[in-house]
Structure 1
Amino acid sequence: MKFSILLIVTLLLGACATSNYSVGRDFPADKVPQITKGETTADEILSWFGQPFSKSTISATEEKWVYSYIEGQAKAVVGSVTSTGTTKTLDVLIEDGVVVNYTFSEGPMSSSVN
């Protein structure tokens, strides 16, 4: 009887998995309020946040830089996967080496697949 219970517990625990993950490179969110549209330069953005996660050319004079970081934990149990964590994204539009617009978002995230 004890062996059967031990076997069942072992099988149930073996059917569960937890994994921590991160995507992108973390960046200092406390620097975002220092960005001033029409004044902050691309060089200042680089010195505050480092190289962006991605760069896109919009036109001959415009670029979009994206800083993105996701950190969380995924838990898999037989038949479902649940992921929780935090995400932050900074999108910066640069024209002729100067920030003309930006957006910043930060918050919790969660998803579940059954």
Structure 2
Amino acid sequence: MKTTIIAFLFTLSLISGCATSNYSVGNPFPSENVNKIVKGKTTTADLANLFGQPFSKTVISANEEKWMYMHSSGTSTAQSYVFTMDVKTTGMQKTLDILVKDDVVVNFAYTESPVPSVNVQ
């Protein structure tokens, strides 16, 4: 009986497991340069020098574009048990949205926050 219990516990330990993964989405950009943007003065050339190329550019009209800089990074951890699984995600995300008209910044918004935590059980 003791051998059976030990074998059973050993088998359970083999079918349990865990995994950790780091992720990064978008392009890292220096958020300390956001305060160097001046509405009505900063040009698209200035933006490229400050932040590099944006994650995306969207044409709004013939003379307007939306530039978006975005980066999200963090860690996902999954712990598997016999009949359940526990998944947790942590990290940071930052987004810089810029409205450009005639190659000059008209408006911008910067946000930085933790990635919404995902707990799946």
How big is each residue's C-alpha offset from its partner over 1:36-63, in whole Å with a ceiling of 9 and x where there is no partner? 1001111000011111101000011100
Aligned-pair distance for 1:84? 1.1
Rounded to whole Å, the distance in 2 between the matches of 1:55 and 1:46 is: 12
**Which residue of the partner structure matches residue 22 of structure 2?**
20
Within 5 A, what are the aligned runs for 1:16-95?
Answer: 16-77=18-79, 78-95=84-101
SS of match in other structure, 2:109 = strand
Q: How many residues align?
A: 112
**Which residue of the partner structure matches residue 108 of structure 1?**
114
Rounded to whole Å, the distance in 2 between the matches of 1:94 and 1:70 is: 23
How big is each residue's C-alpha offset from its partner over 1:57-112, in whole Å with a ceiling of 9 and x where there is no partner? 00111000000000011122343432111000000100001000000000111223
> TM-score of the superposition, structure 1-length normalised?
0.88
For the pair shown, the structure with the greater C-alpha radius of gyration is: 2
Aligned-pair distance for 1:8? 2.1
> TM-score of the superposition, structure 2-length normalised?
0.84
> For structure 1, which runs of at least 5 residues remain unmatched after alignment?
none
Q: CA RMSD in A?
A: 1.6
Rounded to whole Å, the distance in 2 between the matches of 1:19 and 1:48 is: 31
**Which residue of the partner structure matches residue 11 of structure 2?**
7
Q: What is the identity percentage for the equivalent residue pairs of Structure 1 and Structure 2?
A: 46
Rounded to whole Å, the distance in 2 between the matches of 1:10 and 1:49 is: 48
Aligned-pair distance for 1:18? 1.5
